[in-house]
Amino acid sequence: MVRMEQSVFYEKLCQILSKDQILCNEPMSRHTTFRVGGQADFYLTPRTEQVAHILALCKKEQVPCQIVGNGSNLLVGDLGIRGVVLAFAKQAGAVRTEGNCVKAQAGALLSKAAGAAWKAGLGGLEFAAGIPGSVGGAVVMNAGAYGGECKDVLRQVTALTQDGELVTLSNEELDLSYRHSCIPARGLIVLEAEFALQQKPQEEILALMEDLKSRRIEKQPLEYPSAGSTFKRPQGNFAGKLIMDAGLRGVSVGGAMVSEKHCGFVINTGGATAADVLALIHKVQEQVFAHSGVRLETEVRCMGEFA
C-alpha cells in the first residue's frame, strides 16, 4: 500500500482496535517459526469480537486480509504481505474446561489446550502437547502427531464467514482427513474449537505427554527454526525416508538445509531467506520424484510475495 492509503486505512483501523493491536510494516520473520519473511503492511491482533468488524472494513476498502495463527506452518515471502495480516494471539487465546470438554479460542496454543486437558484429568489431547501451532491453525489443517490428530477428538468449531455470520460446524461437517478440512475452501475463520475428551488419570496423561516429548527431542531438529514436517506423508511411505534415499540429507540452499537429524524437516541454519527455503523445497521435490517417482506435497503453507 502507498503511504497515504496506509495512513488513511490506519485511522480507520483505530476505530476498531487499540493502537497496541496494530503493527505497521511488521517483519513477519518475528511471527513465523521459520524466522524468515518480509514485512506485512498491517499486522493485527484482534479480540474475537473485533474480527467481523475488521473483515467488513477490509471488504469495504478492498484491502486483502490474510489469517494466521502461531506461524508454525507458514513460509512468508521475502517481499512481505500486502494488506492486513490478522493474527490470532493472546487476545483470542482463552482456554476453559466444561465437563469432559476443552473449549479453546483460535489463538490459544494447541499445547495450552493439551495442558488444560491434563490438569482436568481428560485424555485424548496428549498427541498435541508438543505441536507448536495454534488451535485455529491446527483445526484448519487437522494437525496431528504420533498416531493422533484433531479429528479424533474435535467435537465442533465456531467460525465466522466472510460476511461476518457466526456458524457452528460439527466434526462430520468439517470434512476432516489427513492434513485437510473444508475450512479454507469455504473461506471460514475459526474462532473457537471444542474437544470432546474422556476421563483419565492425570499421571497416565502426563506419562504419555512426557514420552512423546522425549521422542520429539530425540528425533526432530528442534534446535533450529523450521515449520516442522515440511512435506505431507505420501501414502504407504515416509517423506523423510524418500528424501534420504534420494541422497538429500544435509543438502542446502543458502541458509536453508535438509536436516541431517530428520530429513523430513527443512531448517533455517542461520540467515536463510524465504527464497532459500522455497528453492530447497523445489529441489527436494524434483530429486525425490526423479529417484522414486513420488511427488511430495508440502505441508508448509506459502503466503505473501516471493522474490
How do 252-253 and 256-258 pair as beta strands?
Answer: antiparallel
Residues in Cβ contact with 83 at an 8 Å cutoff, skipping those fewer than 6 apart: 1, 41, 42, 58, 63, 64, 65, 66
pLDDT in tens, 187-200: 999 999 999 999 99
- Tell me the mean pLDDT in the region 24-46: 97
Q: Are residues 64 and 115 in the same domain?
A: no
CA distance 28 to 31: 5
- Tell me the mean pLDDT in the region 154-161: 96
Q: DSSP 3-state assignment of 220?
A: coil
Q: Are residues 207 and 106 in the same domain?
A: yes
CATH number at residue 148: 3.30.465.10
pLDDT at 222: 93
pLDDT at 307: 84
pLDDT at 4: 54
CA distance 49 to 169: 19
For residue 133, what is its C-alpha cell? 501451532
Q: Which of 194, 218, 242 finishes a domain? A: 218
DSSP state of 113: H
Residue 221 has pLDDT above 80, yes or no: yes
Contact 73, 31 (CB under 8 A): no
DSSP state of 39: E
State yes or no: is 179 an active-site residue.
yes
* Confidence band, pLDDT 50/70/90 cuts, at residue 1: low
Q: Are residues 42 and 104 in the same domain?
A: no
Q: Are residues 194 and 246 in the same domain?
A: no
For residue 47, what is its C-alpha cell? 479480540
pLDDT in tens, 259-276: 999 999 999 999 999 999
Among the options 179, 186, 249, 301, which is catalytic?
179
Q: Are residues 197 and 236 in the same domain?
A: no
Among the options 29, 72, 226, 229, which is catalytic?
229
For residue 240, what is its C-alpha cell? 523423510
Q: Are residues 78 and 107 in the same domain?
A: no
Q: 97: which strand partners?
A: 102
Q: Are residues 126 and 141 in the same domain?
A: yes
pLDDT at 89: 81
Q: Are residues 140 and 189 in the same domain?
A: yes
Half-sphere exposure of 114 (CA within 13 A, CB side): 27
Residue 143, domain extent: 93-218
* Confidence band, pLDDT 50/70/90 cuts, at residue 130: confident
**Distances from the Cα of 106 to the Cα of 42, 68, 137, 167, 173, angstroms:** 20, 10, 7, 14, 18
- Tell me the mean pLDDT in the region 92-115: 95
CATH number at residue 56: 3.30.43.10
Q: Which of 33, 61, 90 finishes a domain? A: 90
CATH number at residue 241: 3.90.78.10
Q: Which of 185, 218, 251 finishes a domain? A: 218
**Mean pLDDT, the chain, integer:** 95
Residue 2 has pLDDT above 70, yes or no: no
Q: 199: which strand partners?
A: 122
Q: Are residues 124 and 209 in the same domain?
A: yes
Q: Are residues 74 and 105 in the same domain?
A: no
User: What would you measure as the largest C-alpha separation in the chain, in angstroms?
Assistant: 59
Phi, psi for 105 (deg, rounded to 5): -70, 160
Q: Are residues 67 and 120 in the same domain?
A: no
pLDDT at 223: 95
Q: DSSP 3-state assignment of 189?
A: strand
State yes or no: is 249 an active-site residue.
no
Answer left, alpha or beta for residue 27, where phi above 0 means left and psi between -120 and 50 means alpha: beta
State yes or no: is 299 an active-site residue.
yes
pLDDT at 6: 80
DSSP letters of 240-289?
HHHHHHTT-TT-EETTEEE-SS-TT-EEE-SS--HHHHHHHHHHHHHHHH
Domain count, the chain: 3
DSSP state of 305: B
Residue 26 has pLDDT above 70, yes or no: yes
- Tell me the mean pLDDT in the region 247-269: 97
- Tell me the mean pLDDT in the region 35-59: 96
Among the options 26, 149, 192, 299, which is catalytic?
299
Q: Are residues 144 and 210 in the same domain?
A: yes
Name the more confident of 2 and 57. Answer: 57
pLDDT at 90: 80
